[in-house]
Structure formats: structure tokens, C-alpha cells
Amino acid sequence: MSDEKRTIAEAGAELLALEQFLAGQAPGSQFSYDAITEQTQVPMTQANKNRLRQAAKRAGHPDVTFMRGYGLVLASPETCVDILCERTGRIERGVRRINKIATSMLDKFGDAMTPMDKGQVAYLKAGTKAILSSVRQAREVASLRAENATASTIPLPLGLPAAK
């Protein structure tokens, strides 16, 4: 039945079942896709895996981490730094791709581009370098905070004041 098309009502019922399942769960809980299927009777098709994020948000768990091939972990005070580091890593990879594409475009089409277009690409490349610098700094600070119990001794990025 996982290959069949579902009606809007069936999809809504599955979303509701997933939401009700996640609503009673504690922050930091881990669930395999098999356990979710067993407890909700909702098969973990790709469409239903995609619905899990929406169900988690509606159930009061706005941040979850999906573990490829296994399941998901609900955010908690212990996992928040890991989640943020993972997401900044994704941003960093995306920005690096943009920078690589911009360099490739300039190398390939730079002679045929107008001065205005060349300037815009150069501006975008400069922007990606600034973003990369900020993301790397934020990720390093988050990693240091996770490693050390005394977070107040670690300098905050951009000269932000420490929490009191």
C-alpha cells in the first residue's frame, strides 16, 4: 500500500496520528522509523517521513534531527548544540558550493560577461566569504561550548556580551 496514492483525508489522518504520537514525547527522545510505525500504524514511506517534521512542529517540537536510515531525535538542552552545529555545517556546504559555482562561471564566461555582471558575481563571492567566516566562527564557538562545562570562559563571536 506504500506505493499507492493516498487521498487528502488519509494523508491528514496519518499526519494527525504522527502528531498525536509526538505530542506526548519528552525532549531528547529518540525513535526509530520501525518504532514509529509500530506505535502509530503509519507506514514510514518517504511521504510520511516528510510529514514527521510537520507533525513534530505541530506537536510542540519545532527542532528535530533526522538520522538517515534510522529515525529521529527530538531537540533537548543536551542536543541543541549538536543540532545547531549540524545545521551550520549544511549552510557552510551550501555557501561553499555557491562560491565554487561563481568561480567556475567567471572562469568559463568571464570574457563574455558585461562589467556589471562581473561586478555582481564578484560581490556575491565576497559575500559568500563573509558568510563562511561567520558560520565557521559560530560553529567553532558552539563546539567549544559543548566541550567545556564553563561556557562563560569562551569568548562569544562578534563581541557579544556574555549572559549573566
For the question of whether the overall pTM of this predicted structure is more than 0.85, the answer is no
> How many whole angstroms separate alpha carbon 36 and alpha carbon 136?
35
Per-residue pLDDT tens for 99-135?
999 999 889 998 999 999 999 998 988 888 888 888 8
Provide the 10 A C-beta neighbour count for residue 100: 12
Q: Are 88 and 133 in contact (CB under 8 A)?
A: no
Structure-block grid coordinates of residue 149: 562545562
Per-residue pLDDT tens for 1-41?
444 566 777 778 888 889 899 998 888 888 889 999 999 99
What is the average pLDDT value for the chain, to the nearest integer? Answer: 80
Q: Are 61 and 25 in contact (CB under 8 A)?
A: yes
